[in-house]
């Protein structure tokens, strides 16, 4: 079995004239990330690795979640190739994961995340919102052969308000 948890970065700010890559989280995004991350512990596998896009908003979200689930922040793997909005690129990165890891928590971006969970999960999700958590399970021993899996759990900020 392979387990994949996809988390869309929290709500980011458009206020400062920054490159998309450098946009930070806004206050609501920080609050939503804390809210969702405090409700996920019972849905996490026993062991996992954490990957994050190197974009500011994704890496900041990963840090908030890591702190709230007691994951060592120096163990987060930051990957430039996760700064993508294309589900085919996201799929390529996920399928390249070392098979010694049974479970991955990944912080990334939309449209890639919504399109990926609709291609690989068994529940249609119109849009994975910012700070959205989607847990998928695959009946496979190899990341490069994952196919249609099971959507085990979704947690979105609106569900917690």
What is the tens place of the pLDDT at every residue in 41-66?
A: 999 999 999 999 999 999 999 999 99
Under the banding of pLDDT at 50, 70 and 90, the label for residue 15 is confident
Kindly report, residue by residue over 82-132, the tens digit of the pLDDT.
999 999 999 999 999 999 999 999 999 999 999 999 999 999 999 999 999
Separation in Å, CA 80 to CA 4, 62, 84: 19, 14, 9
Predicted pLDDT of residue 32: 98
pTM score of the predicted model: 0.96
Phi–psi pair at 126, nearest 5 degrees = -60, -45
Question: Binning pLDDT at 50, 70 and 90, where does residue 16 land?
Answer: confident
Q: In what order do the strands lie in the sheet with 103-108?
A: 77-79, 49-53, 103-108, 2-8, 133-138, 150-155
Is residue 14 predicted with pLDDT exceeding 90?
no
Average pLDDT across the chain, whole number: 97
Domain regions of the chain by residue span = 1-153
Q: Which CATH architecture has domain 1-153?
A: 3-Layer(aba) Sandwich (3.40)
Mean per-residue pLDDT for 17-36?
A: 96
Cα 54 from Cα 68, distance rounded (Å): 20
What pLDDT is recorded for position 17?
Answer: 86
Share of the chain above pLDDT 90, in %: 97
């Amino acid at each position: 079995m392979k387990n994949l948890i996809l988390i869309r970065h929290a709500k980011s700010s458009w206020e400062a004239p920054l490159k998309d890559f450098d946009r930070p989280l806004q206050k609501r995004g920080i609050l939503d990330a804390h809210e969702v991350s405090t409700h996920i512990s019972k849905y996490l596998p026993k062991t996992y690795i954490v990957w994050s896009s190197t974009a500011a908003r994704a890496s900041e979200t990963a840090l908030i979640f890591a702190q709230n689930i007691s994951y060592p922040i120096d163990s987060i793997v930051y990957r430039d190739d996760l700064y993508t909005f294309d589900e085919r690129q996201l799929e390529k990165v996920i399928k390249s994961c070392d098979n010694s890891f049974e479970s991955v928590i990944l912080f990334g971006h939309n449209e890639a995340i919504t399109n990926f969970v609709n291609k690989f999960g068994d529940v249609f999700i119109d849009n994975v919102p910012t700070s959205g958590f989607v847990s998928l399970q695959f009946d496979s021993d190899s990341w490069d052969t994952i196919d249609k899996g099971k959507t085990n759990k979704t947690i979105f900020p609106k569900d917690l308000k």
